[in-house]
Amino acid sequence: MKKIIIAGLLLASTLSATASAGLLFDQDVTNNIIFGSGNLNGGFTIEQANGIELGLRGKLRHNAAGAPENTFNSNGDGTYSFGAGVAPTQSSPTAVWSFEWSINSNFDGTGGALSEFTYLLGIDIDPSANATFFNFDPINGINPNNGTVFWDHAVGDNTTGNGAGDVAADASEYSTLISANNLAQNSWKAHWFFGPGFDPTLDATYDISLTAFDANGGLAALTSIQIIVGAGATEVTEPETMALLLIGLLGLAARKKRVKQ
């Protein structure tokens, strides 16, 4: 994992795949991929803890013909390697790769509905060996791209079939869906969240983390991946002690948020 930079009052962090003993690599998520028919399960870096399963993966968004395909380019350790450059048949700044996430807040019957937890998605927007994180709650928060809730998540439960997730039409329906279901997923292109300075042609490493907190603000589960872009980029690691410290900071930040609410 890269060196952490704290910007303003926001505590941001992620874990390297090698620093978390609880991570499982190249896994299926429970129970299926429910966004978009034709998207296959597999290739996820997941953690299952406290009734919650969190999954992240990299994906080849556009192949040489410009078509999507189920190629994840996993290195088997929570890192995913892709070529640098603009995706075929696409315009800049669309990268060849995208990232996909899955939240199952009750994968084994001991959790609860999606709305019973809070979440933090941390996206490293710095292509260098340093890291600057952009953070938000992808379930209960506001979409930083348009200022609305995330209506376009595919939402379901442990019986929802491949590509059969429900997508809300408005904020009211979305609130109902996350209160009644435990599975949400989405697939996102990098430049949607990396900002106007994102350059898909650079050799780079990007960390992405996904964390869930319980009703008391305690850490419930955490997963993290690293996207390695270009032939000149390599995995950037750091000591496990720093990773453990960052877990504590995340928990503290979540508790403070709860108190203010």
What pLDDT, in 10s, does the model give residues 125-171?
999 988 888 899 999 999 988 898 899 999 999 999 999 999 999 99
The residue with tokens 């993966």 is: 57
Q: Can you tell me the mean pLDDT for 30-55?
A: 96
Amino acid found at 219: L
pLDDT at 250: 52
What CA dihedral angle connects 124, 125, 130 and 132, to 10 degrees?
-70
- Whole-number Å distance between alpha carbons of 170 and 40: 27
pLDDT tens figures, 188-243: 999 999 888 899 999 999 999 999 999 999 999 999 999 999 988 877 765 433 44
- Answer yes or no: is pLDDT of 117 > 80: yes
Instruction: Provide the residue ranges of all domains of the chain, joining segments of one domain with +.
Output: 3-260
Q: Is the pTM of this model over 0.85?
A: yes
Q: What is the mean pLDDT of the chain?
A: 85
